[in-house]
Structure 1
Amino acid sequence: MSNANSVYCPNCPGMLKNKIEIQLVDEHNKPITNIPYTLKNSKTTRTGKTDGNGMIKEEQLLASPLRLFLSGQELADEMEKRPLRVKRNGEYKYARSKDSMSKISTVFAESQKLGCQYYYATIGELVDKMPVIKGWKKEIPLPSCHFPNNEPVGLEVIPSAFDTYRYVIEVCPFRAWSLLLHHQKDYSLVNAYNFSLMSILTYSDDNKYATGSIVNVFNNQMLDISKLPYKFNDQSFTPVVYDVPFSDRYTEVVYIDSNKQDIPQGHTQLFYVANKKEVIVGWRGTEMTETKDILTDGIFQPLELSCTPKGVCSGFSEKGKVHKGFWEAFHLVKDIQVPDIEKRETVFEHVLGLAKVRKLFVCGHSLGGALALLHSAQLKSYNPCLYTYGMPRLFTQSAVQELTEITHYRHVNEDDFVPSVPFNKDMDNIALQADYKFVGYAIEVFDTAIGTSLSTAGALTAKSIKSLSRDNEPFLHHGKLVYFYVLPDAESKLYLLPELNEKTRKETKEFIEQQTKVDKYREQEIRSFFQGDENPTSKRGTGLLDHSSALYAEYIDKRLRELCTLSPDEKLQSKQEDLSFLESEPHSIRAIFQRKKIREYYFLREIDNQLATTLDVTRKDERGFVALQRYSK
């Protein structure tokens, strides 16, 4: 330290009896060492470096306020390395007492025991000059959560000859939020939840002033570590996030709308974001107020994926066909240039470049799920991890079989009607192939139960014309089914993941075999219920109210929060049915009619219980353990 600039006071040595001690620590009470500091006012300047305990000690001072400044670049670089504690400093505004503040911050609690004055400070309140942040555009103000002032002003401290000279400053780490994601073949409940929120976000836009917009979420909420992100489009949810160095934040945030280009075309929207390790692509689904979206859904004519004269030359499959409306909607963005980047690139070129050196995640709801699957097929060489919600069928059977290597989990909520279309049948005919579209679509409508109810003659004519086409390429679902199911006459809703891994399959089978009061749930009954990856056969109808993206997120959120309250080996306690009559009255009418229901109940309930295993990968990850703590609180 240096006294070279101390005030000259030859007749008042008694006035220089004041001193100051300042300890700088992070949120885990670890000292911040070897950081250059300056303590100054208009007449005095003291300089030095924090010691091995993060301490600053100065003596022979006047009892006049000083401003504390730390080397901006060195502080920023150091605080990027420091992790956050679980509870955030934004909770201080709700702390009404020292006891409640002590529960939030162990640093505060310790400072009170030692009788020290306590401050919580961001790096922006301490820097002597603004640090250089890689990738941050100069014309954009630094994030206010870390830099509340436009210029460095320092932190005021006051030397004293009494006990009040000791300070503890808890410095907020220079961090940002990142979605916790697992790039893996097995199902992840955390993935399902976070991507359900991203699917909600696809219905927003790039309005930076709107809370919950795409730009607001990634350029504001994900940077504000005083609290967890909280708003996605018009929905309030808390994602599962963990903290990363500020330089590892999401730096690429791009929103594309085909209808807002210089030459508007159609109505297709997507966004994508990237940090150093991951890229996330989200495609928007059908908006019921948009005629163009509804027309897109209805143009179901199958187009060949191959490079034949009538094919679309997809580049990812030479077999099978694709829904025409979805294919055309997807390609509306093919030639759109990415705004605000130095290199001139199209959207697909930019995403491809990001995916080459990052883990790729794709998601979408409704029509957006179909577009997300198309994008994943285009990028299948880059191992996309795809989660969709309430999506319609996109490909025919041969194409689905060609694309089995894509990791895709497809969620269906209760009686959501959208996964039922286009119908699970060959929907091509000679009229469509000859470009007689009206006749071709009419044939397909009459070749359904609805068409038969309208006109028996029309249905017979349609079937006759259909018999002339022998392609036998029915529309099929791609991906592994995840079904949210309400048992008949039961109160609870089940989270069914039939594609269990080998370990959970074995455990489920053993559980069923242990049920002495019921018959074994036979394998053929399992296949009958789920039909592979197609829609469950037990759907009760077409649930117009089961399709909302928010409903998907709400149920996943509910189940995730329930599981966060349990230890890994616990199961949720559910009300057990009285099955004694199956033994006491085995041949009664009640037993005969209830037996199948009970078999179904036990089997499906046990699959639901296995959902907890999908949290194992998160709980074993140090980042995940803390992230779940924050989320569940």
Structure 2
Amino acid sequence: MPVKKPTQPLLNETKPACPLRGTWVSFQLVDESGDGKPYAGLAYKLVDSTEQIHEGVLDAEGFAKVENHYEGPVALTIDSAYKGDDKNYKLLMTRANYPLRITELQVRAEKTRFVREDGLRVNNNPAKAKADQFFHVEVRDLVEKFAHLPPFSKSAHPPNYNLLKVMGDLGFGPEKPELRGVVLLPDKHTALEVRPLRAFRPMLSKDNNFSALNLYQLSLLASLSYSNFGQEPVENPIDKVSFPLDPSVGYMFGNSLASFIETWKVNKDQTTAYYPLYEDVPYSKRFEILPFDPTLYKQNKPDSGVKQEHPAKWHFFDDGKIKGGSDTQAFITHHDEIILIAVRGTLEGADFIRDTDAEQVPFVEGVGKAHQGFYNAFKAMSEFIKVYLDQFYAGQKIIVCGHSLGGAIATLLAEALRRDPNEYDVLLYTYGSPRAGDADFVNGAAELAHHRMVNNNDPIPSVPAPWMNTRKRIWVPGVIISFVTAPLGALIFAVGLSRTGGAPYEHHGNLHHFMPVHFKGREQSAVLWDPGCDSIEEAACTKALKKFGDLPDRDAFVRQLFQMGDHFMVPSYIPYAWATLRRWQQTQESGTTVVTKTEYDQVYYQLQEMQDRLKTKEAELNNAFQYDRQASQREASLLRAEIGRLNTARQRLHALSFLKLTPEDIYGSASQSPEHKINVDRWMAKKENTVEVQLAMIPQASGSELRTA
């Protein structure tokens, strides 16, 4: 509709006569169902073409009408600050660093829900038929400060943003290119459907006990730590930042999840969709990416130079490009209940060198000694974590995760946080982690809740060997050093290094070991060994079920090198974690046990066959004593140990064949959420998570994923 111009003659060549009054405008704020009650009582402000302000309050149906304003369009804003008593909102509005401008409109929009489960817009809002104009609007359209709000969503009926500039060009006052609000045309009734302000956040259990939910969720988030933060511009932003790169840390938390979009990529070469289990939460309870607004936060101003703050600096640590840096990478984010930290594993050349730096150094933050390379990496990022916690810790659970080298760094970090004077409540999950400290460190960290995943024959958990305590530059004179550089760059010394004193390296945490089970064709499932799990001990198994030594039955280390594929996250750990979650879900739903009869029979008799073959070989060696007694005795001793481990494995399998699960075993504290079933059903509705067979088969890695590995 054309904008009316003054009808009176000009007083001179540059100044028009006074504009005319006499027009009216009405509008109604509604949710996606057409109901205006969620917005009843909100204070509004209309600015007309002469900059006259008309203020009022929406009625019980979210409706208002303003009459006799000056001719031309008007700009609507609803920007009054929240004044309620909700503790979470008050904390966000009053925190010392990056306080948020939360409006009453934002709070109301957070309490509404999407009509469609996928969050896409509905096209048949009942309010549309009763209006001359109909707009899809978002909270950011109607408020002054919006940097903390999600990006715009796709819409078939967006407001006319060009009219804001037109209002400044009418001649009824100075041009206002920064005018805020939604423009309404005169003598018309406008319906404004406000998009619900909801977000997705990954479900996590705060229980220290192991859960299949955390096993799967944190495998994805640990993998995400290999991605970039994805902020544009990367450095020295001027007025705004965005997160267009998928996958990236910024894209997941600052874009897709904040916009109620279920994202599934954690690796750029990933082709199989692994969706996290998401919960639908009010936007202010999402995992936060801090806002960037130089007009509101002086630390965001571009003229701050190297001291300028922006989201990447707060949430992402990467000192790989810094001269003398440790090439450590991690990200951190939080919501009102959890602070999440994920540490990247071995990736770059500096990581390869650090993995071999096995000299033990004092763990100053606690007791015992730590691997020097891992400790230096932990120290490099510790200040970054400390600064973040100083600003945003408010009693939340701290959950730390990491893969490979990242698992070792995460272990040192988690123990340091546990011992901090703030008495942080810390939970740790690691995947394929090498040993981070010596026996004294492990004993001193006994109270740290740590679940340590080892996949089949992953070799990296075997380093550094218990006997190692040697700098990479120290070579034993006269001894030939044999080493193998594995695909991830973990330089593994087979012989030639010896301990120089102190306690041996040991693993920390409760071991959870994946064992693959192969069936006909390419079908494969996974059984999760849990030697230290209370549920197994309560199954009245014998003492032999308990963990002897460091790991359950595994191949010799050199043979493990040929199983390096077991170490990677996307082709191995994530599929096994997914299969375990689905297996546990099916077990609980059907009332069956963790190991099916099919699996039990196949695995049990395979173990029996292996044990029989080893006994036959042992007998052959005993008969060969007369030819090479010393060598034969050594080999026979190894065989007897292997026979014993196989027997222990069979008994563990027997225990699992009687184990039944509860929802708490699967989801931990997340099972107590009022919307828990809705959240799980949403995940189960994904075609990738629909498994017709009784066993949760492991998805086959695509060719591109295997090439990446």
Tell whether the structures are fold-level matches, with TM greater than 0.5: yes
Pair 631,598 (structure 1): closer, same or farther in 2 beyond 3 Å:
same
**Is 1:377 the equivalent of 2:415?**
yes
Conservation of the 8 A alpha-carbon contact between 2:212 and 2:580: no
Give the corresponding residue for 1:191: 214
Task: Kindly report which structure 2 residues correspond to 1:208-227, keeping only aligned pairs within 5 A, or say none.
Answer: 208-209=231-232, 210-225=245-260, 227=261
| Aligned with 1:500 (options 522, 533, 537) | 533
Conservation of the 8 A alpha-carbon contact between 1:267 and 1:293: yes
Give the corresponding residue for 1:232: 266
Conservation of the 8 A alpha-carbon contact between 2:44 and 2:78: yes
* Stretch deviating more after TM superposition (276-285 or 571-580): 571-580
Give the corresponding residue for 1:309: none
Amino acid at match of 1:438: W
Per-residue Cα deviation, 1:6-55 (whole angstroms, up to 9, x for no partner)? x99xxxxxxx9x99784623679563210234689879998643222434
Give the corresponding residue for 2:16: none
**Is 1:556 the equivalent of 2:556?**
no
What is the CA distance between 1:496 and its match in structure 2? Answer: 3.5
What is the CA distance between 1:282 and its match in structure 2? Answer: 1.9
What is the CA distance between 1:228 and its match in structure 2? Answer: 2.4
Pair 596,481 (structure 1): closer, same or farther in 2 beyond 3 Å:
closer
Per-residue Cα deviation, 1:117-165 (whole angstroms, up to 9, x for no partner)? 976432234x2x52477xx5xxxx97334999685452668978xxxx7
Give the corresponding residue for 2:106: 79
Pair 574,188 (structure 1): closer, same or farther in 2 beyond 3 Å:
closer
Task: Kindly report which structure 2 residues correspond to 1:566-585, keeping only aligned pairs within 5 A, or say none.
Answer: 570-571=591-592, 576-577=597-598
Task: Kindly report which structure 2 residues correspond to 1:425-574, keeping only aligned pairs within 5 A, or say none.
Answer: 425-428=466-469, 432=470, 437-439=474-476, 473-487=503-517, 491-501=524-534, 505-506=537-538, 508-509=539-540, 522-527=541-546, 530-531=547-548, 534-538=550-554, 541-542=559-560, 543-550=563-570, 551-560=572-581, 570-571=591-592
Conservation of the 8 A alpha-carbon contact between 1:410 and 1:482: yes
Give the corresponding residue for 1:331: 379
Give the corresponding residue for 2:672: 620
Task: Kindly report which structure 2 residues correspond to 1:390-409, keeping only aligned pairs within 5 A, or say none.
Answer: 390-409=432-451
Conservation of the 8 A alpha-carbon contact between 1:73 and 1:130: no
Give the corresponding residue for 1:130: 144
Conservation of the 8 A alpha-carbon contact between 2:433 and 2:452: yes
Amino acid at match of 2:265: K
Pair 632,157 (structure 1): closer, same or farther in 2 beyond 3 Å:
farther
Pair 28,258 (structure 1): closer, same or farther in 2 beyond 3 Å:
farther
What is the CA distance between 1:410 and its match in structure 2? Answer: 0.8
What is the CA distance between 1:623 and its match in structure 2? Answer: 5.4
Pair 501,351 (structure 1): closer, same or farther in 2 beyond 3 Å:
farther
Task: Kindly report which structure 2 residues correspond to 1:8-47, keeping only aligned pairs within 5 A, or say none.
Answer: 22=28, 24-25=30-31, 31-37=38-44
Q: Distance in 1 between matches of 2:431 and 2:478?
A: 27
Conservation of the 8 A alpha-carbon contact between 1:422 and 1:475: yes
SS of the aligned residue for 2:316 comes to strand
Q: Distance in 1 between matches of 2:111 and 2:478?
A: 59
Conservation of the 8 A alpha-carbon contact between 1:278 and 1:361: yes
Conservation of the 8 A alpha-carbon contact between 1:483 and 1:495: yes
SS of the aligned residue for 1:378 comes to helix
Q: Distance in 2 between matches of 1:487 and 1:579?
A: 10
Conservation of the 8 A alpha-carbon contact between 1:416 and 1:545: yes
Per-residue Cα deviation, 1:61-95 (whole angstroms, up to 9, x for no partner)? 9xx997783513359424335345367686537xx
Conservation of the 8 A alpha-carbon contact between 1:258 and 1:265: yes
In percent, how many aligned pairs have the same letter?
Answer: 21
Conservation of the 8 A alpha-carbon contact between 1:297 and 1:326: yes
Give the corresponding residue for 1:322: 370
* Stretch deviating more after TM superposition (229-238 or 406-415): 229-238
What is the CA distance between 1:378 and its match in structure 2? Answer: 1.7
Pair 246,363 (structure 1): closer, same or farther in 2 beyond 3 Å:
same
* Stretch deviating more after TM superposition (473-482 or 76-85): 76-85
Q: Distance in 1 between matches of 2:30 and 2:218?
A: 39
Task: Kindly report which structure 2 residues correspond to 1:594-613, keeping only aligned pairs within 5 A, or say none.
Answer: 601-607=653-659, 613=665
Pair 619,205 (structure 1): closer, same or farther in 2 beyond 3 Å:
same
What is the CA distance between 1:365 and its match in structure 2? Answer: 0.5
Conservation of the 8 A alpha-carbon contact between 1:484 and 1:494: yes
Conservation of the 8 A alpha-carbon contact between 2:213 and 2:668: no
Give the corresponding residue for 1:255: 316
Per-residue Cα deviation, 1:98-127 (whole angstroms, up to 9, x for no partner)? xxx59xxxxx587799999976432234x2
What is the CA distance between 1:361 and its match in structure 2? Answer: 1.9
What is the CA distance between 1:400 and its match in structure 2? Answer: 0.7
Q: Structure 2, unaligned stretches of length 5 or more? A: 1-5, 8-21, 83-102, 162-177, 233-244, 291-310, 484-493, 603-607, 614-645, 686-709
| Aligned with 1:295 (options 350, 353, 360) | 353
**Is 1:631 the equivalent of 2:678?**
no
Conservation of the 8 A alpha-carbon contact between 2:47 and 2:53: yes
Give the corresponding residue for 2:58: 50
Give the corresponding residue for 1:350: 387
Pair 36,195 (structure 1): closer, same or farther in 2 beyond 3 Å:
same
| Aligned with 1:415 (options 447, 457, 460) | 457
Pair 166,201 (structure 1): closer, same or farther in 2 beyond 3 Å:
closer
Task: Kindly report which structure 2 residues correspond to 1:93-108, keeping only aligned pairs within 5 A, or say none.
Answer: none
Q: Distance in 1 between matches of 2:478 and 2:679?
A: 50
* Stretch deviating more after TM superposition (350-359 or 34-43): 34-43
**Is 1:273 the equivalent of 2:289?**
no
| Aligned with 2:152 (options 128, 140, 144) | 144
What is the CA distance between 1:405 and its match in structure 2? Answer: 0.8
Per-residue Cα deviation, 1:579-611 (whole angstroms, up to 9, x for no partner)? 999xxxxxx999999999876544334458568
Per-residue Cα deviation, 1:423-453 (whole angstroms, up to 9, x for no partner)? 2x3334xxx59x981118958969xxxxxxx
What is the CA distance between 1:373 and its match in structure 2? Answer: 0.6
Pair 475,84 (structure 1): closer, same or farther in 2 beyond 3 Å:
farther
- Scaled by the length of structure 1, what TM-score is found? 0.67
**Is 1:389 the equivalent of 2:431?**
yes
